[in-house]
Structure 1
Amino acid sequence: MRADARKNRDHVLAVAGAAIAEQGVDVAMRDIARRAGVGLATLLRHFPTREALLEALLRTGFEELTARAEELESSSAPAQALGTWLRECVAWTTEYRGVTVLMASAIDDTGSALHASCVTLRAAGARLLTRAQAAGAARSDLDGTELFALVAMLAWVGDQPSLAARADHLFEVVASAVLTDAG
């Protein structure tokens, strides 16, 4: 890709991220194009569907969270690694209004552009959970799929204006139910 085309694409992604943070994943593609100062045809040339745009936008964050899990796995105690990663994952997921619904449906939809990124993210969390379980620091009756669901649930709470003020407290409640503090 030419340097100017990459710069244009990166600008559109940045604008799309801000628009989705404000208005949610259903923001009109035309609005994103207008905010980015490009024509709709230009936006659609880079991202032919809303899902393609979301996949490009979210993939970077998923990759960063996956890398963060690997970093925490090698540098932190099991309970601390899992707790830190959960908090960071929920915080990132809450940045984009409505993304939790997309993540929850993409995890089982192999045809979704978001599927592979969601599966990779779930696997990263599952590794941290398994490590914490082996150390006796996390409940043994949870698996990676349930952990992924808890992330989605906690992010959804933070996405609701009437519940957002309680999101930190509810995170602590859920985290204390997952972590046994034995590790």
Structure 2
Amino acid sequence: MPAQRADARRNYARILAVAEEEVAAHGADASLEQIARTAGVGSATVRRHFPTRRALLEAVFHERIDALAVRARELAQAEDVRAALLEWLDALTAYSASARGLATAMLWDQEADPAHQNACVATLSEAGEPLLRRAEEAGAVPPGVTAADLLTLIAGIVLATERHPDPATEADRLLRLAVAGISPGGEGTTG
């Protein structure tokens, strides 16, 4: 039995490594069958480790999502909360624009599968809420804006720019445009 567990761990690691490459190349629609072939396992093995496409994408993005969550928690302690919030949104936008498939993963409709929480959104929302609440208390954002709202906004920007010749620059430009609506003229606002 321990040999099977070691084999299962190796399969999981191999599938995940191949999935990262395939998602980078083809986005959220990367072929699960191609992932299985390249990893040298059967489709059933892929589905045993990752029962849904969403589960696979969440695993692919897990490490970076966690790093962005840690950064949000660090920035929540910053003196200039508006600048801190914008720094986090910049980092999230830059990563989302460079990580094909993440924006799609963030937008998947939870109502279609209410039993499965969107781990990408849940992790980022939970980490971003304290930063956002401090920005709200400081008057840097209007009341009622949620971290999930900002994640949806960023995902929309990234999806709108993914076919642009320079998606990261265009996504950043559109984020700046949106920020003017989220927090107009708040350059000196601190908390």
TM-score, normalised on structure 2? 0.77
| CA deviations over 1:117-144 (Å, ceiling 9, x no partner) | 4233223223212211222333446333
Q: Which structure's CA Rg is the greater one?
A: 2
Percent sequence identity over matched residues?
A: 35
Unaligned runs of 5+ in 1: none
Number of aligned residues: 183
Against the structure 1 CA distance between its residues 116 and 169, is the aligned structure 2 distance closer, same or farther, given a 3 Å change threshold? Answer: closer
1:43 counterpart residue number: 46
1:170 counterpart residue number: 174
Q: Measure the CA separation in 1 of the matches of 2:80 and 2:110.
A: 28
2:67 counterpart residue number: 64
Deviation at 1:16, TM superposition (A): 0.7
CA contact (8 A) 1:17 1:57 kept: yes
CA contact (8 A) 2:82 2:135 kept: yes
2:8 counterpart residue number: 5
CA contact (8 A) 2:110 2:116 kept: no
The one-letter amino acid of 2:8's match is A
2:150 counterpart residue number: 147
RMSD: 2.7
Unaligned runs of 5+ in 2: none
